[in-house]
């Protein structure tokens, strides 16, 4: 008895003497375990999302607790990614520009609510009243009324001042300060304002006031950091048609550098995160006042339900915690910077692929791994258990059928004109969340006789029910062959071997115009040139099998995989000459409808591995009156451009619209006026050769 008591007392005393170290060891073990679990999940997601290489660094309580590379930075050599590998960080650069302006405000040289003209008299918008009222704050939270004006900077040819001047020709798409509209040239303008008051160029200001004080020696805004740097990663795009990666040349975005030209490594970026989490202080030196940080992280305008935009930062919540974050994308690279201030936690994720669901998905991945409670893995459903869900569902909100299918062993929803969205396994509330974005969910009604009768889309607080389409539903009453004959009637019968059209393209909401020239022949060959003058020239050439393109005067490169297929489908003159049944993977007549009181057939054409497009074909003339063209961007993102056609004219047997008006929320309106269509019996040598000239 005594011996037992003595041993027990000794054990208790020993445990008490070691209590604090033991607790620390358990905490460290827990954190270490969570970080390893995070690494495993990230590597699995990297492989699943076709990312050649990426890197992640995590900062907590002012310390770097994780920094690791995954995959390779060069597919040819197999060189691995490390924490020191340099990537383009894209639009996460915007927070640097906001911080520079905040520093100028601390010094009394400017203010958030200064009008832009106070510092930059050359600034002018199409709306003169707005020109006088636009403030630096308006620029930094994307509320000037202008949509994206990418044509002004994509080629890197125009000077920064020239790009700003060209904004005067860009018509607004929304009233001033009425809504959030992402615009890179507005951030360029803000960056130039900070440079003017500092008396140096923006790149020097960035280096002197942020990069050098933070010791970010591997970071900068020059293209050479990607092109002439052994530490730099190459950039890629995953092509679904080729099932392979496509190497992309780095884009020169000097023109719009304050909006997205910074290149860095995750290890260097941890210094930026430490500075952010310390609210303007770094290693004992205060570089920026806390008051300015509060302003930058205060909502300035709503982006959507439960998400707002501050000054260079997006603001949302995760599991009741405030999250400050921003993503970035540029040719071949994706980035995500996320801060959870109340947890003194932040991370940076960089990848060498143009776009990936993992970019936005990293928020939940990292925060769940480090802050969330461990939940048991949801059991994957066997394919036979998914069968009742499969099929088409009509969604009135978009007047289209959604197709529920199985993709890579998971349930997916194919949205026409967009993409096939894979779903996460259902939550306890029986909601299936989109893998690409947690803001969209799907729920299904209970199966009836082994079939689910309806599904409901849940997005932005709106519930949209879609009813199952019966397999034996009546068709439109006309065959595909009959409609194709009608389309050939609408375009006419070309009498010549080739045709050339010339015209003018006006990007009315971007402030850019271009001369257009297109040549197509009966052998699937074409050449299209769009000359934007000072902004550069875009050329797309096909010899019938291969496509080569040069965008805004950039490097000439082959268009392969989905790029090639899309280049074929975007050329109106090409479509007018070719047989659709040969060009597209599938052609389907969906239904009868009306366009401006004229009866039309709605025809869906589907290129291989690309979003489908709809053409509204007049039942009487066979002319295409409208189109909804599915566009694949960055390899994964999709959108629909709506086009209206008018002023049909016949030349040498071929009938095409001499006026085309296209509109999309991101690009605004684009009007093309054709002033000449001519038949060609012979073509200059080299017209369809894969060369720039």
Bridge partner residues of 596 (DSSP): none
Confidence bin at 435 (pLDDT 50/70/90): confident
H-assigned helices in 616-674 = none
How far is the C-alpha of 56 from the C-alpha of 75, rounded, in Å? 19
How far is the C-alpha of 227 from the C-alpha of 566, rounded, in Å? 28
CATH of 49-371, one of 3.90.850.10, 3.40.710.10, 3.40.50.620, 3.40.190.10: 3.40.710.10
H-assigned helices in 207-331 = 212-214, 224-227, 257-260, 266-277, 290-296
Work out the number of other CB atoms within 10 angstroms of the CB of residue 65: 17
pLDDT at 536 exceeding the cut of 70: yes
pLDDT at 554 exceeding the cut of 80: no
Q: Are 650 and 633 in contact (CB under 8 A)?
A: no
Decide the pairing of beta strands 598-606 and 613-618.
Answer: antiparallel
Q: How far apart are the first and last CA of the chain?
A: 99
Helix axes 19-48, 2-17, angle to 10 degrees: 60
- One-character DSSP codes across 160-214: HHHHHHHGGG---SS-TTSS----HHHHHHHHHHHHHHHTS-HHHHHIIIIIHHH
Please write the tens of the pLDDT for every residue from 499-510: 999 999 999 999
CATH fold of 383-468: Lipocalin (2.40.128)
* Stronger pLDDT, 471 or 340, i.e. the higher one: 340
For 480-680, which CATH class? mainly beta
How far is the C-alpha of 180 from the C-alpha of 177, rounded, in Å? 8
Please give the pLDDT value at position 241.
Answer: 67
Q: Which two tokens stand for residue 355?
A: 């776009």
Please give the pLDDT value at position 633.
Answer: 62
Phi then psi dihedrals of residue 577, to 5 deg: -95, -30
Using CB atoms within 10 A of its CB, is residue 681 exposed (0-12), middle (13-18) or buried (19+)? exposed
- One-character DSSP codes across 415-462: -TTS-EEEBPPP-TTS-EEBSS-TTEEEEEPPPBTTB--EEEEEETTE
How far is the C-alpha of 411 from the C-alpha of 194, rounded, in Å? 49
Confidence bin at 23 (pLDDT 50/70/90): very low
Please give the pLDDT value at position 374.
Answer: 57
Please give the pLDDT value at position 578.
Answer: 74
* Helix H or strand E encompassing 643: strand 637-651
Average pLDDT value for residue range 154-161? 88
pLDDT at 373 exceeding the cut of 90: no
Name the nearest CA neighbour of 363 among 333, 330, 339. Answer: 339
Secondary structure class of 635 (helix, strand, coil): coil
Name the nearest CA neighbour of 84 among 60, 61, 104, 67. Answer: 67
Using CB atoms within 10 A of its CB, is residue 420 exposed (0-12), middle (13-18) or buried (19+)? middle
* Helix H or strand E encompassing 466: strand 462-468
Tell me the CB-side half-sphere exposure of residue 395, using CA atoms within 13 A: 21
Please give the pLDDT value at position 9.
Answer: 29
Average pLDDT value for residue range 116-122? 95
Q: Which two tokens stand for residue 42?
A: 């990230």
How far is the C-alpha of 392 from the C-alpha of 402, rounded, in Å? 6
Using CB atoms within 10 A of its CB, is residue 87 exposed (0-12), middle (13-18) or buried (19+)? buried
pLDDT at 564 exceeding the cut of 60: no
Task: Give Cβ neighbours of residue 31 (< 8 Å, ≥ 6 apart).
Answer: 65, 370
Please write the tens of the pLDDT for every residue from 269-323: 999 999 999 999 999 999 999 999 999 999 999 987 778 999 999 999 888 899 9
Q: Which two tokens stand for residue 428?
A: 């306890």
Secondary structure class of 680 (helix, strand, coil): strand
- One-character DSSP codes across 267-281: HHHHHHHHHHHTTSE
* Helix H or strand E encompassing 15: helix 2-17
Please give the pLDDT value at position 269.
Answer: 98
Task: Give Cβ neighbours of residue 289 (< 8 Å, ≥ 6 apart).
Answer: 102, 106, 280
Confidence (pTM): 0.83
Please write the tens of the pLDDT for every residue from 637-682: 566 778 899 999 999 988 999 999 988 777 788 999 999 999 998 8
Please give the pLDDT value at position 562.
Answer: 56
pLDDT at 472 exceeding the cut of 70: no
Q: Do domains 383-468 and 480-680 have the same CATH topology?
A: no
Bridge partner residues of 56 (DSSP): 68, 349
Most distant pair of Cα atoms in the chain: their distance: 114
How far is the C-alpha of 63 from the C-alpha of 58, rounded, in Å? 8
H-assigned helices in 525-613 = 562-569, 572-577, 580-583
Average pLDDT value for residue range 626-638? 68
Return the domain boundaries, the chain.
49-371, 383-468, 480-680
Work out the number of other CB atoms within 10 angstroms of the CB of residue 15: 10
Q: Are 115 and 148 in contact (CB under 8 A)?
A: no
pLDDT at 605 exceeding the cut of 90: no
């Amino acid at each position: 008895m005594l011996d037992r008591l003595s041993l027990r007392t000794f054990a208790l005393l020993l445990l008490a003497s070691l209590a604090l170290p033991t607790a620390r060891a358990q905490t460290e073990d827990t954190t270490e375990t969570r970080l390893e679990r995070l690494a495993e999940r990230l590597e699995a997601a990297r492989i699943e999302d076709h990312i050649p290489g990426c890197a992640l660094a995590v900062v907590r309580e002012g310390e770097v607790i994780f920094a690791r590379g995954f995959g390779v930075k060069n597919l040819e050599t197999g060189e691995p990614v490390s924490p020191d590998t340099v990537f383009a960080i894209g639009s996460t650069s915007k927070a640097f520009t906001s911080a520079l302006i905040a520093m100028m405000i601390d010094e009394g040289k400017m203010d958030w609510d200064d009008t832009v003209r106070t510092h930059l008299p050359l600034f002018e918008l199409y709306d003169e009243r707005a020109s006088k009222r636009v403030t630096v704050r308006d620029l930094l939270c994307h509320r000037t009324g202008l949509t994206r004006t990418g044509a002004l900077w994509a080629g890197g040819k125009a000077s920064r001042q020239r790009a700003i001047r060209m904004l005067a020709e860009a018509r607004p798409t929304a009233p001033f300060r009425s809504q959030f509209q992402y615009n890179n040239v507005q951030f360029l303008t803000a960056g130039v304002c900070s440079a003017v008051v500092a008396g140096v160029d923006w790149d020097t200001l960035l280096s002197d006031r942020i990069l050098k004080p933070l010791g970010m020696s591997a970071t900068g805004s020059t293209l050479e950091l990607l092109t002439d740097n052994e530490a730099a990663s190459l950039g890629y795009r995953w092509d679904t048609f080729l099932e392979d990666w496509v190497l992309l040349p780095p884009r020169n975005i000097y023109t719009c550098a304050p909006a997205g030209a910074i290149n860095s490594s995750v290890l260097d970026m941890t210094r930026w995160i430490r500075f952010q989490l310390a609210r303007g202080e770094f290693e004992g030196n205060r570089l920026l006042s806390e008051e300015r940080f509060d302003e930058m992280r205060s909502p300035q305008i709503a982006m959507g339900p439960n998400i707002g935009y501050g000054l260079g930062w997006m603001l949302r919540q995760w599991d009741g915690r405030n999250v400050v974050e921003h993503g970035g994308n540029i040719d071949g690279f994706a980035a995500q910077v996320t801060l959870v201030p109340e947890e003194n936690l932040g991370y940076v994720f960089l990848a060498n692929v143009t776009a990936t669901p993992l970019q936005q998905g990293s928020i939940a991945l990292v925060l769940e791994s480090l802050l969330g409670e461990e939940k048991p893995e949801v059991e994957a459903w066997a394919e036979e258990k998914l069968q009742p869900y499969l099929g088409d569902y009509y969604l009135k909100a978009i007047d289209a059928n959604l197709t529920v299918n199985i993709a890579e062993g998971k349930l997916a929803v194919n949205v026409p004109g967009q993409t096939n969205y894979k779903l996460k396994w259902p939550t306890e509330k029986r909601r299936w969340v989109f893998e690409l974005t947690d803001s969209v969910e799907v729920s299904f009604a209970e199966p009836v006789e082994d079939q689910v009768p309806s599904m409901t889309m849940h997005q932005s607080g709106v519930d949209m029910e879609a009813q199952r389409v019966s397999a034996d539903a009546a068709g439109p009453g006309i065959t595909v062959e009959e409609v194709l004959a009608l389309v050939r009637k609408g375009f006419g019968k070309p009498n010549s071997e080739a045709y050339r059209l010339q015209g003018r393209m006006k990007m009315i909401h971007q402030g850019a115009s271009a001369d257009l020239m297109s040549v197509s022949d009966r052998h699937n060959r074409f050449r299209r040139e769009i000359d934007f003058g000072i902004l550069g020239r875009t050329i797309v050439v096909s010899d019938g099998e291969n496509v080569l393109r040069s965008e805004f005067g950039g490097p000439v490169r082959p268009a392969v995989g989905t790029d090639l297929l899309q280049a074929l489908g975007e050329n109106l003159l090409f479509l007018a000459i070719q047989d659709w049944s040969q060009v597209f993977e599938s052609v389907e007549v969906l239904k009868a409808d009306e366009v401006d009181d004229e009866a039309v057939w709605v025809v869906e054409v589907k290129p291989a591995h690309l979003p489908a497009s709809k053409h509204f074909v007049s039942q009487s003339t066979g002319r295409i009156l409208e189109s909804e063209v599915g566009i694949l961007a960055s390899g994964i993102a999709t959108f629909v451009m709506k086009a209206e056609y008018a002023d049909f004219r016949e030349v040498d047997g071929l009938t095409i619209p001499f006026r085309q008006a296209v509109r999309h929320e991101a690009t605004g309106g684009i009007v093309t006026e054709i002033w000449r269509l001519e038949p060609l019996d012979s073509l200059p040598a080299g017209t369809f050769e894969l060369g720039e000239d």
